Each structure stands twice: as structure tokens, then as C-alpha cells.
Amino acid sequence: MTIGNIRGHLVSISNHHIKQISKIDCWTTQLGARVRITVSELLNIDISEAHTRRIYV
């Protein structure tokens, strides 16, 4: 292998890794958004249940 071949190989490997990392990054961002939504929903439910219990007790 010549130095040019090695360089080309390294570039293709790094490009592949960058694509994989950006996929993972996108996935974790979506997952984080979903978690935030579910947490806020749970908090809203908990708050409303607490209010209704206080009224009825």
C-alpha cells in the first residue's frame, strides 16, 4: 500500500464513523425529546391528581 492508498482508506473510515456518530446523535436527540415529553406529561398528571385529591378530601 502506498501512502496515498493509506490516506484514502483512513478518510473513508473516518467518513463512515462520522455518519454513524451523526445517526447516533440524531437518535439520542429524538430519544431525549421523547423522554422530556413523557416526563412533562407525567408531571402534569401528578399535579392534576394532587389538586383533585385536595379538593375532594
Instruction: State residue 51's pLDDT score.
Output: 62
27: cell is 437518535
Q: What is the largest CA-CA distance in the chain?
A: 81
Listed in sequence order, the DSSP H helices in 1-57 are 3-56
Distance separating alpha carbons of residues 12 and 32, to the nearest angstrom: 30
The whole-number mean pLDDT for each consecutive block of 10 residues of the chain, a chain of 57 residues, reads: 81 82 83 81 71 61
